Structure 1
């Protein structure tokens, strides 16, 4: 039982170009499905996009490296083409409440028409209304009304004058008013001296007559005022009639044109009423420019209230709109109320209302990255409100948080009829689902993208068609059969398995583009395997500076890694460093010291608070293994300290638990371990070796150290048997394996690993619980028994002393 040593063909998948059946991508058709695999996500998106219920919005769960944006937009745009074009939306002046602009919904393209028609209406009225007031018909009617007024007023004055004259007075009419003056017998007015010279009886009589005539005069003045009021009303009615004759013709045309569109007819009626009410604004012609040198324009009437703000214009939209919002700030999503400075103050009106992405996507689809959206709390909360209420409120963000106290507009909200599609990591989806109740109420469709797909004949052909599609779409050099074979291998490397193809198509596309660059630089007509290989190596070289620094430290013995010779209680474990854009493996020396004690296995990393929970669990499993195998007839009187040497950061994961157990068994048995063999794999309490992640990076990291220090032909790595199918090692390692300079062992049990590391059999437990002499487990059992006897001796001595 010494494990299985793997052959070169087992440590890497090798694709024979001849088996592909083509010589280049020029012979391969495009991928008609547009999306490679991802049937689960495509099915979910198809349901979510076609299900009309606006409570079923979509979350596309997947990383950017899977082409989340491309997949989402491709499928959404395909669906949008089949949908009807949504309505235009316009904001217009609210004549009843100027601070609350009205929203009008019109068929697509009609918003522009209404804007133009209203602008033409105003221009026509500015021309026609003054003409109407200057027409002969109007002037004649106006003159007739004024003439009739003058006749009636003259008659009143004549009657009054006769009455005044009969009483011996003269009627004096001036611009300041009317007054009566006593007259002499010859009809001339009396002077104050003449009045004073009269006898008292005549003075008294004159006074009484004067008072009576003054009453009559006042009554006449009231009659004149009434006549003037009637004149003004008649002239006003005439003006209204003239304006209505002009306006009515144009408005009626618009009513007929926009008949059947709710809201427009009532708006046109209000426009007509307001024009009549403000007819003086149209009556005056534009004033000539003032003379130089300091022209100060005269104030002109404003016709802004008759304008139309085409808020959402779908006149050129084909099908339903698809809007991707890369920067979902509050104003970008919900629009803005803009302001302009005028005479030192900020003013606004309905023409300065600007739409957001929600308005533009209305009736279609809005795509937003979840992480971008969550950066802006107001955006996220208001988006949920819009979805729940199905209304888009256009509000000032500053007003919401209390920064503005000045008066602002409150536009009528627009109904929200779009499907929202969030894109993001699955982790974000689960966090929102657990901690945000509203999220789970509205984002009910999860489209989960897969990371890989089985590498069978069907999927391989689809993969090749996807590659051909990329090449033709981006106008790249064709890939020959060797490049296609290498690309399949690279896809398996990304997937981390020989039997899987990676669906990280954006990464694959980038590699093809880089290979195209190197091929063009060489003047090649096709991309070959060596061009792809160079592209892959160049990508690695640009990112692997941290790895080179660590390898240099190992080479200079600043990091102590021994790759030859034997040592008790010491072993090379393997770990992976993930830098985001690049990950690499490196060996770490693990040591174990043992002594008599009661603490069991002590994790130094945990004591130093540098151990993660999973790593701590792995160390505790070691004690469980020892109890299961060796302490059935004796107590465990052991203190074993376990340490990751020269490790100064947090350690987590249980992939080193197998190596830790082997070092512990070596320390207990006293049998040295060959240091040229590194180990990765987690352990169970029953002694099973379990699979781990990052297997290729770990092997490559140890191989580089061995290569730098010198390959001896005995070095290698022990891995779990379950990880064999994940091996996609680099060509240089495959070559070393083929030449017998480096080895990969696959094991499934602890016994296999300890035999490889020590060269001694592990030993199988007999029915009486003992192990054969000379085996590793026999030596461990004896050591634990020895420690137990020592503990008993100390216990007896302490008891006797007492």
Structure 2
């Protein structure tokens, strides 16, 4: 039979020889060092963590399961451990602008101490100030001031009473002040008696009353001046007493915090506020606060919370720089928030209710974020970029601008920000941010690119074995023997889809290690063996392959039409890969093609029904390019052909079936039967070269399962691109079937080799004259094109009717004059070539 020889069983999977390992079990191996196969990413990470210039934040790009998050925590923690702990930060009351709390910076651990110091200061002031005002000296000085005021008041009132008597008036003291009444004959004149006086007496009394009122006004002014002076003296006395009690306490704190100018300024403000609000400290008894109808506190113990310290970052006892891994990076979790309480029907807040966020805790250190989590809150991403650009972090209530009813809020002083942000995401995330976010390029200048595979050199294999041992030690698992380690490495090659590569998706490797250890434990084995790894892999597949089994059942029952024997024109088996997330499998599908008269070219049924993706549509268009280059150099192509996947009702994407589609199309045009016991995968270019595709293992195994269910015939198999041979890591069951001659895998480089394998007919090449050798695939296809073109031309003539020349030739000829030679007979109508060649098509 003409075609490509099948691959040998040894080429179908990499088998690791356990004897290459110099250990009996992984318990003998040292812990793995570094990240296996991620030297490029590790170098980028180490450089990015040590550069301190603004904008050199890090984006870790890599596929899921490559250990980015784990490595980020480990490496960042190691680097941070060698750095000093950053300062503490706290908010205090702003005595000048209460709605703008001040932020203070203190060495690590000092903010908490400062908060305790101020709490103790308030307690000491509440004790020392009342005691100072209870002293005999204070009472004596106060009494002297009060006595002096009283004496001067009495003297002024005596002078006023004497002036009233001289003017014939008497003074009466009432609750509202002094009342004057005229005196006549030693008796006070009542209002009724006053009306009975003559006019001269009334004028005299009124004149004297006017004089007395001026004297009274002057006296009252002097008395008020005396009282005002006394109040000032009392205030000075109280201030002096308060300073006498408070200043030593504050001076002691000033000595403790003499190296912090901001703290000293704050202590000066406290001293001034204490003096101005002595009544808050002179209350000696705690009275319960009343509550009004609106729920607000009225009276009771004075509110001294303005002297508290709100510590938002405390790095005391911290070894090295902080490392914060924020798993829920919402705006408020990153930037902090302000809590509220209800008062008088309104929501109010103060500086003690300001809460810091992850950026505050990570200041002076490192903040690790997942990009997927970050973009669940658009405001958080915008605010993070703003904070990194401005170098400060602000605590703001972003909901305030959307409220219908305004509430009291604060504008805390921003905290200077110096943080290294490490963002973790996929390569697609990085690409999108690079293209669509200008700020991203300026803020994340370091890319740590994590690969999904590495070479399978002896050194790498030794590292892999050490990794297995490390996972066993960390998880307190049973250790693996050398045969089990060999199975793990083979599984890694399967994940990488390459016999020469190892996968760096260590999450999947770790899952297998845990599951195999559990199987060994249930089996009562001391160590994990190869059979336990195999059992764990089988059970992992069994947990996820329900849909695959259902598809195989439908094929076995004939619900999904797939032929595995015989020969059919214009029909071939293709294989698609279905990815369920935790499981991938191959699903065979029938590809059919038809060819007939017309100039429509190749009609992609899936595209016309809007089920074809862009890549698949491109692959179908490539088929037309191949046909033009191969068969349209000597004659135009007149063709109407249809091509489609049978029983596929979802979108068809990818060009991995374009090789099978071209074989199917050539079969339909040249009427060449194709073997149905073979399936094919591989894309094709316009030159007829078969190109590599993905998922080759799943595709082969998918068709293998169909053939196994129906019974092997010895002539079944799968055609794959030669460039995919290195990607083969097939299951041992399939390799055993190949070894037994029940199933074959063919590798081809060109569409010609594929057609020879499918049809058993030699493909054929052009001779120097451009003709194809009879009996070959190309000759049959060219013949098919020529036949279609001729029939198309004949059909066109029949539709158009006879031409003018044909009508003239068909009319009776006039008698020939003697001696005139006759014309030779013309060709038959059916043999007459058209006057114009038919229009060419693809």
Identify whether the pair has TM-score above 0.5, normalized to the shorter chain.
yes
**Deviates most, 630-639 or 488-497:** 630-639
Deviation at 1:371, TM superposition (A): 1.5
Equivalent residue number for residue 770 of structure 1:
771
Aligned to 2:722: 721
- Give the Cα separation in 1 of the matches to 2:589 and 2:741: 24
Q: Is the 8 A contact 1:515 1:527 kept in 2?
A: yes
- Alpha-carbon distance in structure 1 between the residues aligned to 2:104 and 2:607: 67
- Residue aligned with 2:424, SS: strand
Structure 1 pair 514/170, CA: closer, same or farther in 2 (3 Å)? same
Deviation at 1:177, TM superposition (A): 3.5
Deviation sequence 1:267-292 (CA, Å, 0-9, x none)? 1111111111111111111246699x
1:543 is paired with a residue whose SS is: coil
Determine the C-alpha separation between the residues in 2 that align with 1:203 and 1:420: 95
The CA deviation at 1:173 is 5.5
Q: Distance in 2 between matches of 1:250 and 1:573?
A: 89
Note the 1:439-450 alignment, pairs <5 A. Answer: 439-450=440-451
Give the superposition deviation at 1:630.
1.8
Residue 214 of structure 1, CA deviation: 3.6
TM-score normalised over the length of structure 1? 0.95
Q: Which moved more, 1:761-770 or 1:231-240?
A: 761-770
Distance change >3 Å, CA 209–CA 796, structure 1 → 2: closer
- Kindly indicate whether residue 59 of structure 2 is the aligned counterpart of residue 55 of structure 1: no
What is the CA–CA distance in structure 1 between the aligned matches of 2:376 and 2:146, rounded to whole Å? 72
TM-score by length of 2: 0.90
2:508 is the alignment partner of 1:482:
no
Counterpart Cα distance in 2 of 1:159 and 1:604: 122
Note the alpha carbon deviations across 1:640-679, whole angstroms, 9 max, x for none: 2112111111111111111111122222232211111111
Q: Which moved more, 1:172-181 or 1:387-396?
A: 172-181
Q: Secondary structure at the match of 2:367?
A: strand
From the superposition, tell whether residues 232 and 799 of structure 1 become closer, same or farther in structure 2 (CA, over 3 Å): same
SS of the residue 2:487 aligns to: helix
Q: 1:680 to 1:180 in 2, by over 3 A?
A: closer
Q: Is the 8 A contact 1:170 1:189 kept in 2?
A: no
Q: Deviations over 1:531-584 (max 9, x none)?
A: 111111111111111111100000001111111111111111111111122111
Q: Whole-Å Cα distance in 2 between the matches of residues 318 and 763 of structure 1?
A: 76
8 Å contact kept, 1:133–1:139: yes
**Distance of 2:609 and 2:189 partners within structure 1:** 124
What do residues 412-439 of structure 1 show as CA deviations (whole Å, max 9, x unaligned)?
A: 2222221222111111211121112222
Alignment of 1:11 with 2:15, yes or no, is no
SS in 2 for 1:525: coil
| Counterpart for residue 225 of structure 1 | 224
Which residue matches 2:285? 286
Partner of 2:134: 134
- Could you tell me which runs of 5 or more consecutive residues in structure 1 were left unpaired when the two chains were aligned: none
Query: Could you say if the C-alpha distance between residues 750 and 211 of structure 1 is closer, same or farther in structure 2, counting changes exceeding 3 Å?
Result: closer
Distance 1:674 1:172 in 2: 134
Which runs of 5 or more residues in structure 2 are unaligned? 291-296, 804-842
636-645 vs 161-170, greater mean Cα deviation: 161-170
Shift of 1:697: 0.4
The yes-or-no answer on 1:647 pairing with 2:648 is yes
Counting only pairs closer than 5 Å after superposition, residues 227-376 of structure 1 correspond to structure 2 as 227-287=226-286, 299-342=300-343, 344-376=345-377
Q: After TM superposition, give the deviation of residue 705 of structure 1 in Å.
A: 0.4
Partner of 1:634: 635
Superposed counterparts of 1:527-542, under 5 Å? 527-542=528-543
Cα deviation, residue 41, structure 1: 1.4
Q: What RMSD in Å do the two structures reach over aligned CA positions?
A: 2.3
Counterparts of 1:569-718 in structure 2, within 5 Å, are: 569-718=570-719
Match of 2:104 in 1: 104
CA positional deviation for 1:189: 5.5
The answer to whether the 8 A contact 1:112-1:310 is kept is yes
Separation (CA, whole Å) in 2 of partners of 1:384 and 1:566: 64
* Corresponding residue number in structure 1 for 2:758: 757
Give the distance between the partners of 1:541 and 1:334, measured in 2 at CA.
Answer: 46
2-structure distance, mates of 1:747, 1:196: 139
> Residue 806 of structure 2 corresponds to which residue in structure 1?
none
SS in structure 2 of the partner of residue 64 of structure 1 = coil
| Cα deviation, residue 297, structure 1 | 9.2
Counterpart in the other structure of 1:89: 89
Alignment of 1:542-581 (within 5 A): 542-581=543-582
Q: Between 234-243 and 664-673, report the one with greater CA deviation.
A: 664-673
**Matching of residues 459-538 of structure 1 within 5 Å:** 459-538=460-539
2-structure distance, mates of 1:565, 1:332: 66
8 A Cα contact 2:128 2:246, kept in partner: no
Rounded to whole Å, the distance in 2 between the matches of 1:202 and 1:720 is: 138
Q: Quick check: 1:215 aligned with 2:243?
A: no
Residues 540-549 or 81-90, more deviating: 81-90
Structure 2 vs 1, CA of residues 164 and 625 (structure 1 numbering), >3 Å: closer, same or farther? closer
Describe the SS at the equivalent of 1:263: helix
Quickly say closer, same or farther: Cα 1:602–1:218, change in 2 above 3 A.
closer
How many aligned positions are there? 795
Residues 45-194 of structure 1 correspond to what in structure 2 (within 5 A)? 45-161=45-161, 176-178=176-178, 190=188, 192=190
Deviations 1:30-82 (A, max 9, x none): 1122x222112112212222111222222111133112211211111111112
Alpha-carbon separation, structure 2, partners of 1:480 and 1:56: 45
Q: 1:32 to 1:404 in 2, by over 3 A?
A: farther
Shift of 1:98: 1.2
**Does the aligned pair in 2 maintain the 1:149–1:231 contact within 8 Å?**
yes
CA distance in 2: counterparts of 1:215 and 1:654, whole angstroms: 113
CA contact (8 A) 2:322 2:362 kept: yes
Contact 2:394–2:414 (CA<8 Å) still a contact in 1?
yes
Question: How far, CA to CA, are the matches of 2:790 and 2:195 in structure 1?
Answer: 155
Shift of 1:347: 2.4
Rounded Cα–Cα distance in structure 1 between residues aligned with 2:594 and 2:201:
147
Q: Is the 8 A contact 1:54 1:418 kept in 2?
A: no
Question: Structure 1: how far apart are the matches of 2:208 and 2:595?
Answer: 140
Name the CA shift for 1:428/1:287 in 2 (closer, same or farther; >3 Å): closer
1:147 to 1:454, Cα distance in 2 relative to 1, 3 A:
same
Q: What is the distance in 1 between the residues matched to 2:592 and 2:184?
A: 143
CA contact (8 A) 1:720 1:747 kept: yes
Classify 1:593/1:2 alpha carbon distance in 2 versus 1 (closer, same or farther; 3 Å). Answer: same
Distance 1:76 1:178 in 2: 84
Encode CA deviations 1:107-160: one digit per residue, 9 max, x unaligned: 111111111111111111111111111111111111122222233334444545
> Taking structure 1 as reference, are residues 182 and 786 closer, same or farther at Cα in structure 2, changes over 3 Å only?
closer
Cα distance in 2 between the residues matched to 1:743 and 1:441: 55
Shift of 1:201: 7.3
CA contact (8 A) 2:346 2:407 kept: no
1:164 CA displacement: 5.2
Secondary structure class of the residue paired with 2:439: helix
**Would you say the 8 A contact 1:289–1:297 is kept in 2?**
no
Distance 2:157 2:599 in 1: 131
Distance 1:147 1:780, change over 3 A: same
Cα distance in 2 between the residues matched to 1:20 and 1:149: 105
Pair 799,108 (structure 1): closer, same or farther in 2 beyond 3 Å: same
What SS does the aligned partner of 2:249 have? helix
Asked if structure 1 preserves the Cα contact closer than 8 Å seen for 2:183 and 2:189, the reply is no
Change (3 A) 1:183 1:670: closer
CA–CA separation in structure 2 for the residues paired with 1:692 and 1:190: 126
Relative distance call for 1:486 and 1:353 in structure 2 (3 A) is same
Are the counterparts in 1 of residues 12 and 730 from structure 2 also a CA contact under 8 Å?
yes
Which has the higher mean CA deviation after the structures are superposed, 571-580 or 298-307? 298-307
Structure 1 residues 672 and 256: CA distance shift in structure 2, 3 A: same
Q: Does 1:26 align with 2:27?
A: yes
**Counterpart in 2 of 1:787?**
788
